[in-house]
Amino acid sequence: MRRLLVALTATIALATPVTALPSGAIAHTAIAAKVCHRGTPARINGTTKCLQAGEYCALSAERQYERYGFECSTSYRPPRLRRL
């Protein structure tokens, strides 16, 4: 009886993480994919955004904007995105 209980407990313990993994992985993938109808999809300061020329930008994220083909132009007040 004790062997059966140990075997059943071990089976449940091993099966639980395996079934929980795919649902978490699918949810993570669905969150990461964002569709931009206009503009360029980008990840800026940990947030997914759709970048377009003329939008407001943060000077502190200049290098991140360059990765997507934009620059944060200071010729405007407040600074705005401009295509490279």
pTM: 0.57
| Residue 24 pLDDT | 52
Q: Where are the domains of the chain?
A: 1-33, 40-83
| Residue 30 pLDDT | 47
Distances (CA, A) of 77 to 11, 32, 47, 60: 63, 32, 23, 15
| Residue 76 pLDDT | 85
Residue 57: pLDDT over 60: yes
Q: Please, what is the average pLDDT of the chain?
A: 78
Residue 62: pLDDT over 60: yes
